[in-house]
Amino acid sequence: MRSESGIIYEGTRPPTIEELSNASVVALDIESTGTRVEVDQPLGVALSVDRRGGAYFPWGEQSFPWRMIEDDKVLKVGHNIQFDRSLMKKHNILCDNVADTMILGHMGEYDLKMMRYSLGDLYRKLYYQERIFEGAPREFVDFKGIGGLNASTQTMGEMCSLHARTTLNFWEEYEHLIDYDGLSELFWDLKMPMVNVLSDVELNGCVIDDTYLRSLGVEFRKRMDTLEYALERVTGVKGTNYNSGDQIAWLLFDKLGLQGKYLTSSGKRFSTDAKALESLRTKHPAVNLILTFRMYSKLIGTYVDGILERMINGRVHPHFGQAATDTGRLNSTDPNAQNIPKRKEQGYKIRRAFVAPEGHVLVVVDWNQLELRDLAIQSKDPGLIDAFNSGRDIHAETAIRAYGSASRRADGKTMNYQIVFGGGTREHRQKFMEAYPVAGLWIAERIRDLHMNGFAKTRKGRIRPLPNGRLDADYGFMTKLERDFLAKAERQCVSTHVQGSAAEEVQEAMVNIWNITRDTDIRMIMQVHDELLFEVPFGKEIEIAEVVKKACEKLRTLSGYPVDLTVDTKVGKNWKDLVKFSSWKEKTVEQRKMVIAA
């Protein structure tokens, strides 16, 4: 271990500058002042081309081989490399040809027998399998473990090089699984380009009307005060903290005498989480008031105060990740945009805070019943296909087939979404399978595969392990708990095949759009389930909306799918007050200006 011109070399075979500059594959790790790209700054970068050693360059070190980082012929391997890419792009350094070991671990979890994907987890796995690099310490060291920002440059460099070497080590040991598991197309053509897409989405951020959001916070807090007063009236108890599980448990089960249905994980008292309270909603008026109070409390904490606290230069920058959900859908944090209520009054009011900057409009695309259409594509059920291609209401169709009457459309809708999102009971699933026999046969085949293999796959081949779904014993000899686990795994299996595959359709469209708009003034700013949001200069929205619509839709005449995948396209000055694209096109330029100015 040595230092030279500010560079810290670590390991038995540290790289030379020449080796780094001429590498075709290099592992990198950036240490920074924190994990928020929009506010934190890089401290240094470690590189490794041989697992036996690494080199750490304090940020700004003149000899760092930046040309190699920006060379698209060089593969840059990182663990959560989206963060590293974002930090570099923030400093006008482009790093686009990447491979992410965190996403590799997430995609190949069935073969790797992994449930978590931190770099420390990978290190311990390699260490105890004796596949770790020469001279590796027994314990993995992280940023907190060395004292964080108080650590010396030497200690920081040693740790950062350890991380780069671990990343390279894991890549070299497990890269072959990409081809072995048939994941090459998914990994290289979708998941790695999505790193670049999400990095840019994160850097772009969304403009927030903070004045409006503060006034919304005042409105929500007044409603909470009203709810608190109402609760005091119906319970006769003052001063309760309605966000405290212990206090709510005492109020409902001891003071009011309600009978709980679910225990906490410790088993010491009845649960007061959302599921438990929903089951008690009709038992006492206080329960509904508590649920509503908690809803407003969460909205304030996450989407009012949470957004206001995270705003930088008028924008909020949600983080989107690919390795945190079981189904393969994207996750969102800081704030969690995915959990903004879509069809509730409060959700619409929060959406109003997301606005276009001066001289711009928002273009929003939303896929039409994507998961159900994906089920029709995979199952090739003629009933589903005919309903979609004839333009019939799919929920009414299911109601007629399952219950004999379109008047039960609400029940049909519930059944449809229970199937694709992993809810409902076996009886619900059986009823759906009878309503759509060919889809029912396809579902039965997927469940039979689950019983044999213990995992489910998306259309592009991503594997989701569901070990409780493997049927190793006769069903009649299983305990009730085992049957419950099996039933849950069966629901998750169907959901993975459909919901996971639909998520891949959305991500494929995002990559295609990014490739078209990456060097333009069009900004992709958010993805929320089946919605994509874009920030577009006023005057370009017609052209861009057409481009985005074409990239998102897959018409059966061109795609080979039996049904169309279609989107609704809208335009507006904020995420709530949107105009259908067809109506927007009919307006004159002056009329469009009036909509924006209103």
- Quick: pLDDT tens for 488-545: 999 999 999 999 999 999 999 999 999 999 989 999 999 998 999 999 999 999 999 9
- In the prediction, which pLDDT does 111 show? 62
Q: Is 114 in the same domain as 159?
A: yes
Report whether 146 contacts 159 (CB < 8 A).
Answer: yes
The top-scoring range by mean pLDDT among 202-216, 231-245, 553-567 is 202-216
The answer to whether residue 116 scores a pLDDT higher than 60 is yes
Helix (H, G, I), strand (E, B) or coil at 184: helix
Could you give the percent of the chain with pLDDT greater than 90?
75
- 504, 534, 563 - which closes a domain: 504
Burial class (CB in 10 A: 0-12, 13-18, 19+), 40: middle
pLDDT of residue 372: 97
pLDDT over 90 at 424, yes or no: no
- Whether 399 contacts 405, CB under 8 Å: yes
Considering the domain architecture, whether residues 117 and 150 belong to the same structural domain is answered as yes
For 192-226, write each residue's pLDDT tens digit.
999 999 999 999 999 999 999 999 999 999 999 99
Structural domain harbouring 6: 2-203
Q: Which amino acid is at 567?
A: V
The residue out of 504, 519, 547 marking a domain boundary is 504
Q: Is the pLDDT of residue 473 over 80?
A: no
Give pLDDT, residue 319. 95
212 and 186 housed in the same domain: no
* Domain presence at residue 308: yes
Q: Are residues 67 and 109 in the same domain?
A: yes
Residue 144, pLDDT score: 82
Quick one: which H or E segment has residue 25?
A: strand 25-32
Q: Tell me, what's the pLDDT at 114?
A: 57
Are 515 and 340 in contact by the 8 Å Cβ rule? The answer is no
Q: Specify the pLDDT at position 531.
A: 95
Q: Residue 83: what pLDDT?
A: 97
Does one domain contain both 33 and 83? yes
User: Are residue 199 and residue 138 in the same domain, yes or no?
Assistant: yes
247 and 182, same domain (yes or no)? no
Does residue 31 share a domain with residue 11? Answer: yes
| Count of the separate structural domains present in the chain | 3
In a domain, 22, yes or no: yes
Is 356 a domain residue? Answer: no
Q: Examine the pLDDT at 582 and tell me if it is beyond 80.
A: yes
Q: What is the mean pLDDT of the chain?
A: 92
Over residues 117-137, the mean pLDDT reads 84
Percent of the chain residues past pLDDT 70, beyond the cut:
98
Asked if residue 82 lies in contact with residue 61, where contact means CB atoms within 8 angstroms, the answer is no
**92 and 143: one domain?**
yes
Residues 266-284 pLDDT 10s = 777 889 998 899 999 999 9
At CB < 8 A and 24+ separation, what contacts does 439-445 make? 439/375, 439/376, 439/379, 439/381, 439/383, 439/384, 441/379, 442/378, 442/379, 442/380, 442/381, 443/379, 443/419, 443/494
Among 9-18, 110-119, 494-503, the range of highest mean pLDDT: 494-503
The answer to the question of residue 527 being in a domain is: no
Count of Cβ atoms closer than 10 Å to residue 168 Cβ: 26
Spatial distance between the Cα atoms of 463 and 414, rounded to a whole number of angstroms? 27
Domain end: 484, 504, 524, which one? 504
Q: Which long-range contacts (CB under 8 A, 24 or more apart) does 57-61 make?
A: 57/6, 57/7, 58/6, 58/153, 58/157, 61/5, 61/6, 61/7
Residues 173 and 236 both lie in one domain: no
Residue from 558, 576, 579 nearest 568 by CA: 579
Q: What's the 3-state SS for 400-441? A: HHHHCCHHHHHHHHHHHHHHHHCCCCHHHHHHHHHHCHHHHH
Put simply, whether the predicted model's pTM sits higher than 0.85 gets the answer: yes
Angle at 433 between CA 428 and CA 439, to 5 degrees: 135
| 84, 30 Cβ separation under 8 angstroms | yes
Residue 375 pLDDT exceeds 60: yes
Residue 552 in any domain: the answer is no
**Helix, strand, coil distribution of the chain in percent, nearest 5:** 55, 15, 30
Both structure tokens of 515: 């490739």
Contact criterion met (CB below 8 Å) for 28 and 47? yes
Radius of gyration of the chain (CA): 26
pLDDT score at 224 = 96
Q: How does DSSP classify residue 342?
A: S
**Residues 40, 175: one domain?**
yes
Cα separation, 579 vs 589, in Å, equals 14
Looking at the domain assignment, is residue 569 inside a domain?
A: no
Q: Is the pLDDT of residue 109 over 80?
A: no
Q: What is the CATH number of the domain that holds 52?
A: 3.30.420.10
Query: What CATH number is associated with residue 306?
Result: 1.20.1060.10
